[in-house]
Amino acid sequence: MRPGRGQRGFTLVETVLGLGLTGLMLSLTVGAMSQAWTMQLTQRQDVLAREQLRNAARWLVRDVLNAQNTDLDDGAIPVPAVTLGWTDAGGLSHTTNYSLEGTELMRTLNDTPRTVARGIVSAAFSRIGSTVLVTLEASGARGEMRSLALRTRMRAAEEPSQ
């Protein structure tokens, strides 16, 4: 049926089709945005886990390189904590301890505690000769584990000059 003169507007079929297409486009857009947001959150969790492991590595390498002694037994099975000791150029003795408290890797230098990494689920320390081995695991996105393995040689104890 043709609209008469002066009649304007949409038919019922056109209105229903327009609403249907609009609803379809809206649901596709919301679905895509939801998926993008979930992916971004997942990536953020993975990046955070890696950053925490890198930060822990920075502190551990620094302290192991300074260390002249440790409480780790040579060739023993890995343990969840380590104590490192050294004497600086000024003759001051320093002791640092690393331990896992909950999901925080704690560094205690001369009785002053500091969190060096969060989200750490396991820590293992061992020694072979003067090389300290460290393995850390952090939980990333979707329960996946991110791990870090370090092999760092301790500084040899300096012999007194004659």
Task: Encode pLDDT of 61-71 as tens digits.
Answer: 999 999 999 99
Q: Say which amino acid occupies 39.
A: M
Residue at 27 is within a domain:
no
Residue at 131 is within a domain:
yes
Which among 42, 41, 45, 44 is positioned nearest to 138, based on CA atoms? 45
Residue at 137 is within a domain:
yes
- Specify the residue for token string 């620094």: 62
Residue at 162 is within a domain:
no
- Number of structural domains (the chain) is 1
Residue at 97 is within a domain:
yes
For the cut 90, the answer to whether the pLDDT of residue 9 exceeds it is: no
pLDDT for the residue numbered 133: 96
- Provide the strand spans (E) within 57-119: 69-70, 81-87, 93-101, 104-109, 112-118
Q: Residues with Cβ < 8 Å from 96, sequence gap 6 or more?
A: 63, 83, 84, 85, 107, 108, 109, 110
Range of the domain at 95: 32-153
pLDDT for the residue numbered 53: 94
Residue at 6 is within a domain:
no
34: pLDDT confidence band, cut at 50, 70 and 90? Answer: confident
Residue at 82 is within a domain:
yes
Residue at 5 is within a domain:
no
